[in-house]
Amino acid sequence: MAYIGRGTDKISNIEVLDNITFDGSSSYSITKSSVAFVPNSAQSCLISIDGVVQATNFTVSTSTIDFGVAIAGTSTCDFFLHYGTGLITVPADGTVTTAKIANDAVTKDKVSNLMYPAFFASLSANQTGLTDNVYTKAQCDTEILDTDGYYDNSTNYRFTPLVAGKYYVYGQVTGDTANSNLVAFDSALYKNGSLLQTNYSIFSTNYAASQSLSIQSIVDMNGTTDYLELFGRVNVLSGTTIVFFGEDQLTSFGAFRIGD
C-alpha cells in the first residue's frame, strides 16, 4: 500500500477517534468512545498507520472507512483524528477577538434575551377627561420601540412580556392645568393592577401650572400573566381643567429585560 505522509505539526485535531484494530480487511468501522462516528468527509480525517500519516487515500461512507486495499493485521493504528470542516472549527477559549466578529453579526437571538423584550411608547396628544386627585392610566399610544409586540398601545396600554426575568421599567407623566392651580402631582407604576411605586410633588399654596415626574423601578415578571402600566394623579383646585401633556414625549413609558 502506498502511504502519503504529512507532518504532524500541521495537524489541528478536533475529535480524537478510536484507534482501528486491523484484521486484514480493507474497510473498518469509525467510532469515538466505542460509539459510531460519522465524519464530515474523507478529507476531514487523518489516520496514522505504522507511523505514517494517511490523508485523502481512502474513502468514507457514513461511519465506515475504506482504504481500497487490505490492511495487514500486523499493522498498527497510531491515531485517528477528525478535524471538522477546517483545520480548527472550535476556537480555543479567549481567542475570538472583536475584529473576528462582523458588524451587526450579533443579534438579539445570540444574547440570551438580555435587554429583550423591550418597548418604549409615548402619548401622541393631550389626554383629557382626567378626574381630580384620582390615579389615571397614561394612554401611551405611539410606539417608538416594541421588539416582540408585548406592549398594547391601543386598548389596555400595558406591557405584558412573555419572557420571565427582571425588567428595568421607567416612565414620565406630565400633568398640565393650563393655569397655576396644581396642588399636588404623582406619577406611578402599577403591576397587575396594583400600585407598585410612586413619585410625587406637593406644592402647598405655591401652586404650579404643570409638572413632569419621572419614575423607574426594577420588577420581577413571570413571563406569562404579569403586566405593567403607567399612571398619574393630578390634584388641582376645583373647577380646573387637567390633562396629561402629550407633546415631545413628555408622557412616556418603557421597559427592557436586564436578567433572570
Q: Tens digit of pLDDT for each residue in 166-208?
A: 999 999 999 988 788 888 999 999 999 999 999 999 987 788 8
Are residues 152 and 59 part of one domain? no
Are residues 154 and 58 part of one domain? no
Domain for residue 104, yes or no?
Answer: no
Q: Which pLDDT belongs to residue 208?
A: 85
Are residues 137 and 12 part of one domain? no
Q: Which pLDDT belongs to residue 48?
A: 95
Determine phi and psi for 8, rounding to 5 degrees.
-70, -15
Answer whether residue 254 shows pLDDT above 60.
Answer: yes
Are residues 242 and 153 part of one domain? yes
Cα–Cα distance between 29 and 175 in angstroms, integer? 78
Domain for residue 2, yes or no?
Answer: no
pLDDT digits (tens, 9 = 90+) for 128-166: 999 999 999 999 999 999 999 999 999 999 999 999 999
The total of other beta-carbon atoms located within 10 Å of residue 250's CB is 18
Average pLDDT in the chain = 87
> Measured in whole angstroms, how far is the alpha carbon of residue 6 from the centre of its chain?
44
Pick the last residue of a domain from 65, 82, 99.
Answer: 82
Are residues 219 and 159 part of one domain? yes
The total of other beta-carbon atoms located within 10 Å of residue 82's CB is 21
- The residues that bridge with 88 in the sheet, in sequence order, are none
Q: Which pLDDT belongs to residue 6?
A: 42
Are residues 126 and 238 part of one domain? yes
Q: Which pLDDT belongs to residue 87?
A: 47
Pick the last residue of a domain from 82, 97, 128.
Answer: 82
Grid cell at residue 114: 438580555
Q: Which pLDDT belongs to residue 241?
A: 81
Domain for residue 120, yes or no?
Answer: yes
- The residues that bridge with 176 in the sheet, in sequence order, are 210, 243
Maximum mean pLDDT: which of 110-119, 182-191, 237-246: 182-191
Domain for residue 34, yes or no?
Answer: yes
Cα–Cα distance between 161 and 191 in angstroms, integer? 12
Are residues 188 and 66 part of one domain? no
The CATH number that applies at residue 174 is: 2.60.120.40
Q: Which pLDDT belongs to residue 206?
A: 82
Q: What is the residue type of 214?
A: S
Pick the last residue of a domain from 31, 60, 82.
Answer: 82
What average pLDDT score do residues 108-113 get? 62
Domain for residue 1, yes or no?
Answer: no
Domain for residue 164, yes or no?
Answer: yes
Are residues 222 and 173 part of one domain? yes
Could you list the residue range(s) of the whole structural domain that residue 15 is in? Answer: 8-82
Q: Can you tell me which residue has the cell 406611578?
A: 188
Residue 106 confidence class, pLDDT cut points 50, 70, 90 = confident
Q: Would the pTM count as exceeding 0.75? A: no
Are residues 180 and 62 part of one domain? no
With a pLDDT cut of 90, the percent of the chain lying above it is 62
Q: Which pLDDT belongs to residue 151?
A: 98
Question: What's the domain count of the chain?
Answer: 2
Are residues 226 and 154 part of one domain? yes
Which of 16-30, 61-75, 185-199, 232-246 shows the lowest per-residue confidence on average (mean pLDDT)? Answer: 232-246
Are residues 27 and 141 part of one domain? no
Are residues 253 and 189 part of one domain? yes
What average pLDDT score do residues 43-61 get? 91
Q: Which pLDDT belongs to residue 112?
A: 58
First to last CA, the chain: 60
**Which pairing describes strands 77-82 and 15-17: parallel, antiparallel, or unpaired?**
antiparallel
b/e map 115-124, b = 16+ CB within 10 Å: ebbbbbbbbe
CA distances from residue 13 to 5, 45, 62, 84 in whole angstroms, order as listed? 16, 9, 20, 8
Q: Which pLDDT belongs to residue 203?
A: 86
